Amino acid sequence: MLVKPSLVLQVKLVGSDWSEACAAEVKRSYMYIAQSIVSELGEDEAEDGNVMRLSIRLMRPYWDPTDPKSQELWEASMMPWLVNATRNLSTAMHNYNTVRHPMGAGNLVYEWADYDFGANALIRVKVDAENRITGYMPAIANEVRTLLHEGALGEGVAMIRVPSRASWEAQVQAAREAQRQAAEAAAAAEAQAAEQAEPADPQAAEAAGAEDGSPAAVVAEPTEPAEPAAPQADADRADADVPETPEASEDVAGPDASTPAFDIDFSVWGIEYADGTVVEYDSATRTLR
């Protein structure tokens, strides 16, 4: 019978989210998955935001792909377990924010999920806008295991971040730019539709008919002169007739400060070394850059 990994959840929260009530609620909510340890992030760690860390341990060797017993344990025990653990925890993280919590505990938005394989590897993967962990995580862990064994990432790897900081920031900027352009296009289309829907000027139409001698101009009966409109009423009417331009639209005042939801590209990884050096690894081409 193959042994199964053990799991402890280390929930690391920024100061604005951490409280005794929150810690108690997190422990209660995740107890069916694993024991939870909830702590407040220090100032030097808070930059990354809230982190859900899976501390994974297995009492037998499993990391060496060249050892038959280790490989059997990885394929038959660890990989299926990673699939189930990722799916169950991802669902729990998402569902946590769909219910009301007692004791004043609020919702929690996680920025990253850590897969801590002890001395073997630490993988930090981005959590999506729905507070879920990507289903690709087990495959990422499998690739990391192979790369580290091959020595493809070099020595002294402290963390593998998926995607890299630079890749993530570029994706956020691209999403915000797409959001801004979509808002501008929508505002321009709305302004154009409003302009096309404006009724023709009756006086201009009558003058045009008189010039070309149309019957409409000949048979038109005289009407009583209209009373002059109040100056303020004229101003209000003029304002109402002017279509809103993109420059004046609130929709294009600027992209929302929050990150728009988009499909994350996990292909470019950040290899962060113990000495502070960071390089990127392209998983599509399997090359460092």
> Where do the structural domains in the chain lie, given as residue ranges?
6-163+264-288, 178-216+230-260
* Predicted local confidence at residue 213, as pLDDT: 55
Rounded to the nearest 10 degrees, the angle between the axes of helix 79-96 and helix 20-30 is: 130
Q: Which of 31-40, 134-143, 192-201, 263-272 has the lowest mean pLDDT?
A: 192-201
* Predicted local confidence at residue 247, as pLDDT: 38
Instruction: Quote the CA–CA distance of 74 and 119 in Å, as a whole number.
Output: 16
Q: How many Cα neighbours within 13 Å face the side chain of 112?
A: 27
Instruction: Quote the CA–CA distance of 5 and 35 in Å, as a whole number.
Output: 14
pLDDT level of residue 6 (50, 70, 90 thresholds) = very high
The bridge status of strand 35-40 relative to strand 51-57 is unpaired
> What percent of the chain stands above pLDDT 90?
63
* Mean pLDDT to the nearest integer, 65-69: 96
Q: Please indicate, yes or no, whether the overall pTM of this predicted structure exceeds 0.95.
A: no
Which one-letter amino acid corresponds to residue 207?
Answer: A
Which residue has tokens 């799991």?
A: 7
Q: How many Cα neighbours within 13 Å face the side chain of 241?
A: 10
Q: How many Cα neighbours within 13 Å face the side chain of 107?
A: 11
pLDDT level of residue 241 (50, 70, 90 thresholds) = very low
Residue 168 has pLDDT above 90, yes or no: yes
* Predicted local confidence at residue 33, as pLDDT: 96
Which residue has tokens 């501390």?
A: 55
Structure tokens at 7: 């799991």
Q: What is the mean pLDDT of the chain?
A: 84
Query: What's the pLDDT tens digit per position in 122-160?
Result: 999 999 999 999 999 999 999 999 999 999 999 999 999
* Predicted local confidence at residue 206, as pLDDT: 60
Phi and psi, residue 229, nearest 5° = -75, 150
> What percent of the chain stands above pLDDT 70?
78
Query: What's the pLDDT tens digit per position in 171-226?
Result: 999 999 988 888 889 888 888 888 888 765 656 556 555 555 555 444 445 455 44
The bridge status of strand 278-282 relative to strand 268-273 is antiparallel
Three-state DSSP state, 133: coil
Q: How many Cα neighbours within 13 Å face the side chain of 207?
A: 5
